[in-house]
Amino acid sequence: MMKLQIAKWGNSLAVRLPADYARAAGIKEGDAVEAEIAPSGKITLSPKQEFDKAAFLRKTRKLRASMPMTSSAVETMRSKERY
């Protein structure tokens, strides 16, 4: 873990990442990162992943194939109705 200093950059605050950290994360100048802050105050930066529609569809199809087919919730409710 490395201690980094917060600096003023216009009206914002900035952290300068050492070159070794940027290389290890696979990021370069101009790349986008996603920031997440936990309730504890911990800040996590991750390289932004571009949305891969084909990969998303593959994962969705695989997940759907693993789900058993059942009757719909509406059909179940209607079958138990008493008039």
What class does CATH assign to 6-79?
A: mainly beta
The domain segmentation of the chain, as residue ranges, is: 6-79
List, for residues 46-77, the tens digit of each pLDDT value: 988 888 899 999 999 999 888 887 778 888 88
Please give the Cα distance from 23 to 18 (Å, whole number).
9
Please give the Cα distance from 58 to 66 (Å, whole number).
13
Predicted local confidence at residue 73, as pLDDT: 80
Give the up-direction half-sphere exposure of residue 69: CA atoms within 13 A in the CB hemisphere: 1
What pTM value is reported for the model?
0.50
